[in-house]
Amino acid sequence: MPLVSTSGYQPPMYLFNGHIQTIVPSLWRSVPDVRYQRERVETEDGDFLDLDWSRLSTDEPADTLGIVSHGLEGSAGRPYVRGMVRALNRAGFDALAWNYRSCSGEMNRLLRSYHLGDTDDLDFVVRHALSKLRYRRIFLTGFSAGGNVTLKYLGENPERVPREVKRAAVFSVPTDLKSSSNHISRLENRLYLNNFMKTLREKIRQKAEIMPDKVDVSKLDDLRYFPEFDDQYTAPMHGFKSAEEYYEHASSGRYLSNIRIPTLLVNAENDPFLPPACFPRDVASHSQYVFLETPHEGGHVGFGEGTPDGEYYSERRAIEFLTAEVPA
């Protein structure tokens, strides 16, 4: 019954509610002591992915690789990704932070971009890393949208997950996309929604400049909420009939019971992005592999602690879980 009954997270006094715990790390955290080496890899469908490596040595690969998947409209450069990369390196692991299509600073080539259920690219990254450096172990970590992709990847077809993938730790995950897309549309969350919509609209405009015959932007500025945007763009651009179908198939919650490696899911109860449907307590209580931790505090992709070493609870907790009784 992997319901984690207690959590070790205690926010500092200045992070006194879920909104502050979400906003402060996003705006003011800096993780300068991470140096990436970028690799561009060509995908089988004629596109590309930009991978940012942080290896302990360029001569020999480490025994273990940690792969980090970022959140919606994020990138490998976001502080929460860099913080996890640094934690993985400090634990003695190589790290790979991959950028989704259109998220590395350059628009991707195809009409499709990325979506919250796109596990094929994660599988591609895992297999590329194994073929390039032949790691004995791979750990997966992810935040928010990246956590949803990670959980779906592990559960939708466990047989295709390489045996080298041993454990996973994900944070602030909207496991039910329909309810979370409605939840973030509430008045108190409008700041977050507007920021996401601003960058999503800009990417659609960039896409329309590249392929004007395929992307219609005439109603783009009228779209205010995720369901509207996803119905108009995300769903049809990625093979779904509607936002409803997209949410149904892309939500990781429906696949959690199929996961077959130890997996930690940490969702804070005061996360402003997550409604009750994103706390899969029933699944975790009946699973041998899905460990659900629900601290009272933490916000969304927050978990700051104000410690001298600059690490966050999410990073310490991930390393603790990933290295606990890891099979050889």
Q: What are the CA-CA distances from residue 250 to residues 74, 104, 226, 240, 258 (Å)?
A: 18, 22, 14, 10, 15
Query: Kind of pairing, strands 48-54 and 290-293?
Result: unpaired
Inter-residue contact 75 to 46 (CB < 8 Å): no
Number of domains in the chain: 2
The CATH number of residue 10's host domain is 3.40.50.1820
Residue 328 included in any domain: no
Together in a domain, 22 and 109: yes
Residue 284 included in any domain: yes
Coil/strand/helix, residue 264 = strand
Q: Tell me which of 230, 250, 270 is where a domain ends.
A: 250
Q: What are the CA-CA distances from residue 76 to residues 5, 119, 260, 290, 300 (Å)?
A: 32, 17, 27, 26, 18
Among residues 72, 195, 218, the alpha carbon closest in space to that of 80 is found at: 72
Containing domain of residue 246, as a range?
177-250
Residue 278 included in any domain: yes
Q: What are the CA-CA distances from residue 114 to residues 28, 237, 238 (Å)?
A: 27, 9, 8
Encode the chain (328 residues) as per-residue pLDDT tens digits: 477 878 889 999 999 999 999 999 999 999 999 999 999 999 999 999 999 999 999 888 899 999 999 999 999 999 999 999 999 999 999 999 999 999 999 999 999 999 999 999 999 999 999 999 999 999 999 999 999 999 999 999 999 999 999 999 999 999 999 999 999 999 999 999 999 999 999 999 999 999 999 999 999 999 999 999 999 999 999 999 999 999 999 999 999 999 999 999 999 999 999 999 999 999 999 999 999 999 999 999 999 998 877 899 999 999 999 999 744 3
Residue 220 φ/ψ region, left for φ over 0, alpha for ψ in the -120 to 50 degree band, beta for the rest: alpha
Residue 83 included in any domain: yes
Q: Tell me which of 250, 275, 302 is where a domain ends.
A: 250
